[in-house]
Structure 1
Amino acid sequence: MLDHIRAGAKGRGSCPAGTNNRDLSFDFAKGILITLVIIGHLLQYLIYQGTDAFWLSPYFKSIYMFHMPLFMAISGYLSSGAILRKSFTQGVGERAMQILLPMLFWCTLIWTLKSAAIFPTKSLTDNLLDLSTEVIGTYWFIWAAFISFILIRVLTTFNRLSMWIISASAIAVAFAPITLSIAPLLKYTYPFYCLGFLFAQPIGWQNGLIWRYKSIFVVLFSIAAFICFLGWGKETYAYNNLVLIHDEQSAKQVFLM
């Protein structure tokens, strides 16, 4: 089964020179998600000025219900080709260069400017501690995507059983009682990354099943979205960053992802 999927991935990835096989709809979706994140931050800090009132905003709730899961699902979908076509070393190395290196550069640049202009009296040890917190905490979603990539790449080595194992791992991680550092954030992102990866595979059942029962799926999805909207709030928000949030005061100073 995995050999067939690898062949399909190679077929999708091998196009004549000069042709553009890029699906621009994903770029459009990512652009929309980035815009929604900015709007969410504006609501949190400009409209509601850092108070807890933003939790009750229907606009804020609508954005934060889905934007991170969808971002991870798109990442998993787009990473499918690299996971299946490339060796472990090549795939992980290229992924690190694509997402970790820019993140480290940007984080170091911001940290340097803050250390020089805002916190010039801090000791080097405190500044380095702040840098590590920024790298791990502020950019946790980058680490979540990178770790998800590695986990799925490892699980694809099981050949015929790999798709079943990846599905089982998504369920296991979602229900795992992990509470350390950014691990809770990973448990709520890895399953969506897996979902995107699985839907990228040329199995054929996805489109047939979805289009055949499209109306039913729309109704079920609408009901689920409505229930989530009613139940979503400060107590049920899954992406609270335990690296940066220590108490009520620090929670107000953190951009919610």
Structure 2
Amino acid sequence: MKGRVVWVDWAKALGIYLVVLGHYILPNVEVRGYIYMFHMPLFFFISGFLTSDKSLNMPFGEFVKIKAKRLIVPYYLFSALCLIWYLIKLKAGGGLDIFNTTLSVFINSFLCGDSPVSCGPAWFLWSLFFCNICVYAYKKYPAVMLILLSTLGVINLPIYLALHTLPCALLFFTVGFLGKDKIINAADYIVSKKVIALIASVVCLVLVWVGYRLIGNMDMVADQYTSYPVFSLIFAFIGIFGVISLCTLVAKQSSLIESISRSTLVIMCLHTELLWFIQLHVYDIFSNWFVVLISAFAIVVGLTAITPFIRKYVPILMGGR
């Protein structure tokens, strides 16, 4: 896979917009549940799709070092920034308790625990790191990894370092990685069949809504897969296919979309702080769909605008990307 794949940029841009939107208290809570059915599975799927076979051929130590630099270092740096900001807010509000509140928040953030500092869905970075390690091991020792992966699916993993999200995340990541050639062929076919793309996207996204109404929403970080986990995963895949179909239909070269796609790490980690600011200063935001949709887009564009400066002056925050 050479060069940028345009529909992937669109899928990442749409996905990150849904992530931001999903953290609002929306005028209709059902929409939030619908978004949660597939927005994070989409990111793991795309991450697997974009993982190159070449990177899996390097020595294990070098592979881990690169992935830690790109994923774990940004997690802790962004968490540190959010922790400092969190303490400033507590101090300003007179609620700073150095031994209880601060220590608890620090420990949870350091271990990516149950309630880390408000740093967006940064748990995604730890989960993605382990997905990469597992796929690397699978390529080297497939038989051993198949046994390990089957074990992961039936045991309760700890919440720390987002390990509890790994079985589900790894499923979407692995399908994206192993199926990339078929995905590319399917996307190329859909591109040439606009009507099919439109029908497929509408049908899939409607089916996800029906699935949500029937079984409830899936929330990976909350370890919530409804009473019908297999169906939750199926509807997540249907949602992913619907997004891909939609993105192949509308995908055209766009500097804005490409910039948003390149900025998803920053948006993931910082959008909740901008959301807090908007909640504080925009009256009755959650009762107005227009304001919600526009402000969510403004957050995405605003954080996209600062990403080039971060990449230029503080590249370590971007994992050296």
Query: Same fold, TM exceeding 0.5?
Result: yes
Instruction: Using structure 1 for the length normalisation, give the TM-score.
Output: 0.64
| 1:249 alignment partner in structure 2 | none
Task: Indicate the residue corresponding to 2:176 in structure 1.
Answer: 196
Question: How has the CA–CA distance of structure 1 residues 226 and 108 changed in structure 2, closer, same or farther, with 3 Å as cutoff?
Answer: closer
Cα deviation for residue 70 of structure 1 reads 0.8
Unaligned residue ranges in structure 1 (runs of 5+) = 1-11, 14-20, 243-254
Letter matched to residue 196 of structure 1: G
Q: Residue 149 of structure 1: CA displacement?
A: 0.6
Within 5 A, what are the aligned runs for 1:75-154?
75-81=47-53, 83-119=55-91, 121-123=96-98, 126-135=101-110, 136-137=112-113, 138=116, 139-154=122-137
Show CA shifts across 1:59-100 (max 9, x none).
223311111111101111112335424222222211111122
Among 173, 176, 182, which residue is 2:154 paired with? 176
Aligned residue among 11, 23, 33 for 1:41: 23
Provide Cα deviations, 1:183-220, integer angstroms capped at 9, x if missing partner: 332222111111111113x5x69848x96xx98xx599
Q: Cα offset for 1:126? A: 4.9
Tell me if 1:25 matches 2:25.
no
Instruction: Return the offset for 1:231.
Output: 2.8
**The residue matched to 2:53 in structure 1 has which SS?**
helix
- In the comparison of the two structures, how many residue pairs are matched? 203
Note closer, same or farther for the CA distance 1:91–1:193 as it changes in structure 2 (3 Å cut): same
Give the Cα–Cα distance (whole angstroms) in 2 for the partners of residues 223 and 168 of structure 1: 36
Alignment-derived partner of residue 212 in structure 2: 229
Distance 2:148 2:63 in 1: 20
For the 8 Å contact 1:76–1:196, the answer to whether it is kept is yes
Give the whole-Å Cα distance in 2 for the aligned partners of 1:81 and 1:221: 30
> Which amino acid in 1 is paired with 2:44?
M
**8 Å contact 2:45–2:174 — kept in the other structure?**
yes
User: Of residues 151, 156, 159 in structure 1, which corresponds to 2:139?
Assistant: 156
Residues in 2 aligned to 1:118 and 1:64: alpha-carbon distance in whole angstroms: 30
